[in-house]
Amino acid sequence: MKLEELDGRAAEIIARYEYPKAAMLPLLWLVQENQGWISPEAETWVGKTLGVARSHVREVVTFYNMYHTAPVGRRELRVCTSLPCLLRGSGEVMRRIRDELGIEPGETTADGAVTLTEVECLCACEMSPMGQLDEAFTGPLDDGAMDTLLRTAREAPETSTPLPEPEPYISTDGPILSTRFKNVEGTWFDEYVADGGYRAAEKALKTMTPEEVIQEVTNANLRGLGGAGFPTGRKWSFVPKNSEKPVFLVANADEGEPGTFKDRYLMERDPHALIEGMIISAFAIGSHKGYVYIRGEYFRSAKRLQRAIDEAHAKGWLGKDVQGTGFDLDIVIHRGAGAYICGEETALLTSIEGGKGFPKLKPPFPAISGLFRCPTIVNNVESLCCVPFILRNGAERFAAIGTETQGGTRLFCVSGHVVRPGVYEASVSVTLRSLIEDAAGGVRNGKKLKAVIPGGISAKVLTADQIDVAMDFNALMEAGSMAGSGGVIVMDETTCMVEALDSASRFFADESCGQCSPCREGTGWIHRILKRVGAGNGRLEELDDLLAIAGDMEGKTICVFADAAAWPVQSYITKFRDEFEDFIRSGRAIGKREADACPA
């Protein structure tokens, strides 16, 4: 089809945004959906349509790894080899797929049927080892599932049977976030309202002032559940009162931290909770425009949330004069395109603005000058979903569920070597031991626990004797790690820590945005050393080099990605130094069968 035929659709998309350039990612998606890849002609068309130099269009196309710069097969098979999948056998999965398709990652089968892509964490670790065929997640990829996947992958997308729906363990009994998760196909408007939905928004809009809402959320001790744990009410209070510029509310649904898979369930099974949370939050900060930034691989999340947004519009909960209160709110979904860094709140804003996902310099902070240089609050999906509960049941109730410094529950994501990987809602006061042993059924195959990452791959690793710790932000910080995104990655005694760290370091090297020199160069440097060590060519003194390089990366960059890349290096090597030294001394190598003795 001719690109000019997309002009009408492009105009509609551009109209959603404050500036044309912000339509960059959606226009590239539009092109790719219609043409299969982003051709140079398409880059020129996008540039012309948005008034952006072609060079900058290409910067964006090459930054996000879901955009294809060359033609691809009829279907794309993405296979995750990040740490949580690695722990459950993604190495073997990848080997079999390569063998059977006869291609390497990045290649397309000769018949043009399928392109194989090796990807970093798709945040579906509850079904690991897993893959994604076009839009559908699939896993765990045991032999049977692999047979189905490989057969389907070769079929024409129009006529093939859908892959079976994965059935991991997902909490459904609340008390706050998962009460409607039993609705596997999604909780839609009528059912949401019947379950008490939108009552909190009604209460806020009709009976409260924005200050009262902020106070209530502050009293609830709600802390940002994206990873940083900043008190949500306090964050909202930073927005200047009576701002002459518009204020934006942005929901961070760029779930990307390896080991984390909760926001997808919130959006797919309870999307109105997010919308209601956004209505209340927008009211509190004086915003009339909300964006939801959903990671590119979450196709279904975006579709379901869009359906809920359309319902909310139809029922008068979005748009002009919400429920006759005079309050206006529009919500726009902005899809990412494959870049972990866009989960960093300012990179996320740059990405909405149509740029590469580069974190912004601070100061100024987003609450003062964020999206389109206007006051902006970015909240994680899960945090926003807690807000309706707080308004409906009161701050005291929410606060009482948690600890002294953090109210409520979290959707803990447990993956790795446990019997039952899944999403578990629990009070933030729950201990790591209880999550692993009670909720997730303990370490699988009767093996012993070796190490746990309590809050996503960036968090420092804890050893088996450190798991009697509460999962709230303060307790985990005191334990020398962090609560992060609530992604608990469990490693049993068979885990080779060199391999685990090699995998983590590859993730950070792949995902560094490349803006700041210490991170751009440091992540690649560390990964190259670890790859060499893993191949059996390391030297003992390089362990100290690794620690020093990691130390040099810390605290010197625009965002904390570099710090997050440094922490695993420091904690793995420090806590498992003997294993690393033994690995190097023995001349073993990762992935070789004779190296099965690893760990010693």
* Complex with other proteins: residue 320 or 556, whichever CB lies closer: 556
Which tokens go with 417? 């070597």
* Complex with other proteins: residue 140 or 568, whichever CB lies closer: 568
* Complex with other proteins: residue 93 or 550, whichever CB lies closer: 550
Q: How far is the CB of 268 from other proteins (least distance, A)?
A: 29
Which span (52-60, 307-315, 421-429, 461-469) binds other proteins, by CB under 8 A? 52-60
Beta strands in 327-395 (DSSP E): 330-335, 376-380
Scan residues 531-590 and list those touching other proteins (CB under 8 A).
532, 545, 548-549, 552-553, 555-558
DSSP letters along 491-557, please? EETT--HHHHHHHHHHHHHHH--S-SHHHHHHHHHHHHHHHHIIIII--TTHHHHHHHHHHHHTT-S
Is 349 a residue that touches other proteins (CB under 8 A)? no
Q: How far is the CB of 257 from other proteins (least distance, A)?
A: 17
Q: How far is the CB of 398 from other proteins (least distance, A)?
A: 31
3-class SS of residue 408 = coil
Among 29, 45, 63, 236, binds other proteins (CB under 8 A): 63
* Complex with other proteins: residue 55 or 445, whichever CB lies closer: 55
Is 270 a residue that touches other proteins (CB under 8 A)? no
3-class SS of residue 243 = coil
Is 529 a residue that touches other proteins (CB under 8 A)? yes
Q: How far is the CB of 512 from other proteins (least distance, A)?
A: 4
Among 107, 328, 330, 510, binds other proteins (CB under 8 A): 510
Q: How far is the CB of 69 from other proteins (least distance, A)?
A: 10
Residues recorded for the chain: 600
Q: Taking the mean position of all CA atoms in its chain, how far away is CA 239? A: 26
Q: For residue 409, what are the CA distances in angstroms to 178, 217, 414, 454? A: 10, 14, 15, 15
Q: Count Cβ atoms below 10 Å from residue 40 Cβ, excluding itself.
A: 12
* Complex with other proteins: residue 56 or 180, whichever CB lies closer: 56
Among 15, 55, 242, 326, binds other proteins (CB under 8 A): 55
Q: How far is the CB of 488 from other proteins (least distance, A)?
A: 27
Is 523 a residue that touches other proteins (CB under 8 A)? yes
| 114-119 sheet: strands from edge to edge | 114-119, 75-80, 131-133, 136-138
DSSP letters along 91-145, please? HHHHHHHHHHHT--TT-B-TTS-EEEEEES--S-GGG-S-EEETTEEE----HHH
Q: How far is the CB of 52 from other proteins (least distance, A)?
A: 8
Residue with tokens 């798709």: 122
Beta bridge partners of 117: 78
Is 102 a residue that touches other proteins (CB under 8 A)? no
Q: Taking the mean position of all CA atoms in its chain, how far away is CA 189? A: 26
Among 4, 11, 62, 102, binds other proteins (CB under 8 A): 62
Among 18, 191, 330, 521, binds other proteins (CB under 8 A): 521
Q: How far is the CB of 128 from other proteins (least distance, A)?
A: 24
Q: Report the candidate in 65, 39, 50, 90 with the shortest Cα–Cα distance to residue 357.
A: 65
What is the helix (H) or strand (E) element at residue 276, kind and residue range?
A: helix 271-285
Which span (47-55, 118-126, 173-181, 324-332) binds other proteins, by CB under 8 A? 47-55
Q: How far is the CB of 37 from other proteins (least distance, A)?
A: 15
Q: How far is the CB of 313 from other proteins (least distance, A)?
A: 36
Among 9, 16, 54, 397, binds other proteins (CB under 8 A): 54
Whole-angstrom distance between the N-terminal and C-terminal Cα of the chain?
A: 59
Is 518 a residue that touches other proteins (CB under 8 A)? yes
Among 356, 392, 450, 588, binds other proteins (CB under 8 A): 356
Q: What CA–CA distance (Å, rounded) separates 343 from 120?
A: 14
Exposure string for 405-434, b = 16+ CB within 10 A, e = fewer: ebbbbbbbbbbbbbbebbbbbbbbbbbbbb
* Complex with other proteins: residue 460 or 506, whichever CB lies closer: 506
Residue with tokens 């063998």: 99
What is the helix (H) or strand (E) element at residue 449, kind and residue range?
A: strand 449-453
Binding map of other proteins across residues 363-382, x = CB under 8 A, - = no contact: x-------------------
* Complex with other proteins: residue 399 or 529, whichever CB lies closer: 529
Is 68 a residue that touches other proteins (CB under 8 A)? no
Q: Which residues bind other proteins (CB under 8 A)?
A: 40, 43, 52-56, 58-59, 62-63, 339, 356, 361, 363, 509-518, 520-525, 528-529, 532, 545, 548-549, 552-553, 555-558
